[in-house]
Amino acid sequence: MVDPAPTVICFGEILWDFLPRGLFPGGAPHNVAYHLHQLGLRPHLVSALGRDVLGDELQRRLHHWGLDLLGLPRHLGLPTGYVTATLGASGDAHYEITPSVAWDQISLGEDTVRAAVTARAAVFGSLAQRSTYNRASLSRLLAVLPPDALRVFDVNLRPPHDDLPLVRELAARATLLKLNSAEAARLVEDDPGYGREEPHARALARQTGCPVVCITAGEHGAGILSDGIWHWEPGRAVAVRDTVGAGDAFLAGLLAGFIRHRESPALALARACRLGEFVAARDGATPPYNLSE
């Protein structure tokens, strides 16, 4: 039996991606929330916007998509965040992230607390933890989640916001750790390279105590370690437009598989890979589609 629209909290940055092909709503937690909504879940995005034109337009977009705006206060003194992204020849993105923006001060309102106490999962990333304010807010959020709710840590190492001791500390508070192969190699202090995903996942599980570790490897595919068993899903070739948000779509697909469809790790992983490939073949992180049925 499928649960009716389970709630997932998405905590962290919301911003604009300034890409060569235009401006697109972004930020990993925002992107995950968008895709969860498209997949038939009920995301509750917890972030902050400035009282400016960029914030107005983000609110308008989210309202148009039908996303919950209750966890998005407007800051008077801090602007809406944005990122300037440049694309490599293969569509991979490199980011310049604006400092001192609204999502550096994320507060938990009453609506967020009410959503969290019945949530099936909470997704949080490493980038928003660059501020001590947000670290305190995240601790309060995790404290009110149901004990059996998934605590999903989405690693996003963007220099200079790549504090490895902090990432390891956050990973120890998660029940599902998701990261890419290069990030996994950095955390286990090993050389990166395709084919090392399984030993790196097992090393991370030992180091952090996190019971489920998922590692993506771009066009090669992705793997997940669950209950000590390693599952691998090969990638399928697509004509890449850009890779912005493909990993976020992947995570949303994985959670939809686990939470909404109650799939096995292998089936949820395949679902996640297909959605990530779909987004990589389109402009920006939030292309239109509807797979909620």
DSSP string, the chain: ---SS-EEEEES--EEEEETTEEEEE-HHHHHHHHHHHTT-EEEEE--EESSHHHHHHHHHHHHHT---TT--EESSSPPEEEEEEE-TTS-EEEEEPSS-GGGS----HHHHHHHTT-SEEEEESGGGGSHHHHHHHHHHHHHS-TTSEEEEE---BTTB--HHHHHHHHTT-SEEEEEHHHHHHHTT----TT-HHHHHHHHHHHH--SEEEEE-GGGEEEEEETTEEEEEE------S--TTHHHHHHHHHHIIIIIS---HHHHHHHHHHHHHHHHTSSSS--------
In contact, 260 and 271? CB cutoff 8 Å: no
Give the Cα separation of 151 and 212 in Å (integer): 10
For 226, list phi and psi in degrees, rounded to 5. -140, 130
User: What is the structure's pLDDT at 95?
Assistant: 75
Residue 192 burial by Cβ neighbours in a 10 Å radius (0-12, 13-18, 19+):
middle
The pTM assigned to this predicted structure is: 0.94
User: What is the structure's pLDDT at 1?
Assistant: 44
The sheet carrying 22-26 orders its strands as: 22-26, 15-19, 81-87, 93-97
In contact, 178 and 200? CB cutoff 8 Å: no
Domains of the chain as residue ranges with CATH: 7-280 (3.40.1190.20)
CA terminus-to-terminus distance, the chain: 13
Give me the average pLDDT of each 10-residue run along the chain (293 residues): 79 92 91 97 98 97 96 96 80 81 97 98 97 98 98 94 95 98 96 90 97 97 98 97 93 98 98 97 90 61
User: What is the structure's pLDDT at 61?
Assistant: 96
Q: Output the 3-class SS for 165-185.
A: HHHHHHHCCCCEEEEEHHHHH
User: What is the structure's pLDDT at 90?
Assistant: 66
User: What is the structure's pLDDT at 89?
Assistant: 67
